Amino acid sequence: MNILGEGAIFKVKDGSSTLETPRWYNVFFTDTYKKDWSIHGIIFDGNWENNRKGVNIGYNQAFIGVFGNEGRCDNVVIKRNVFKNNPGLNNVVTGVSYFVSQGQATMTLGDNWDVSENWHINNGMDSFDFTAVFGLCDNMKCDNSWYINDFSATGVSAAGPRNAFEVHGSNQTFNNNFIKSYYSGMIVNSNYTSVCENIQVNNNIMVD
């Protein structure tokens, strides 16, 4: 699958999630193995003002999400997209397994992701634990991007952006990024399947 958007807008419709009935959803989603796909030039709009979920509701409303023990992807390129107005927890998720985190299973991580040259604008608007890019994979580039919010979270439990990038795999880079109003630029943490090593962080700019 190769999608060349050339400025096409993918906007989540009004009422997909409400405070009364919050919903978990992704725009692009897989829970099985995929490889060799790319997404370029799309404007993703989460339409957060018309898709509330509640700050303390931990539902993911990612634009691109890979989930589950069997969900992994190899050879992925996500470039020159705009991710904006997301009420949920992440914009891009390269892998998540709840069973692994509970010690019930192991998983094979995805490999060779390039998530670079993207704009992340005003996200985590209805979440207290927002991370723009969640990197549970190996051999990943997350470079030359912009992470910009108009406001910072006012406290630990308040809405707003937490992390631009989370590292949960090996051989990853976070270079030449601009980050505004995030609590932290990135965090590095192990996963429940393999060690995390050879992480490079260079030439990033963070401002209030």
pLDDT digits (tens, 9 = 90+) for 150-161: 988 777 778 889
Top-confidence residue, 123 or 158: 123
Query: What is the reported pTM?
Result: 0.94
What would you report as the CA-atom Rg of the chain, rounded to the nearest whole angstrom?
Answer: 16
Residue 73 has phi, psi (to 5 degrees) of: -135, 140
Top-confidence residue, 97 or 138: 138
Residue 102 has pLDDT above 80, yes or no: no
Identify the band that residue 171 occupies on the pLDDT scale cut at 50, 70 and 90. very high
Nearest CA to 110 out of 146, 144, 77 is that of: 77
41-97 per-position pLDDT tens digit? 999 999 999 998 888 777 889 999 999 888 999 999 999 999 999 999 999 999 987
Q: How many other C-beta atoms are found inside a 10 Å radius of the C-beta of residue 191?
A: 20
What pLDDT score was predicted for residue 195? Answer: 83
What distance in Å separates the CA atoms of residue 41 and residue 19, rounded to the nearest whole number? 31
Enumerate the H helices of 95-167 as residue ranges.
98-101
Residue 118 has pLDDT above 90, yes or no: yes
What average pLDDT does the segment 87-113 reach? 85
- Tokens representing 16 are 């997909």
- DSSP H or E stretch at residue 3: strand 2-11
Top-confidence residue, 6 or 148: 148
What pLDDT score was predicted for residue 101? Answer: 64
What pLDDT score was predicted for residue 144? Answer: 98
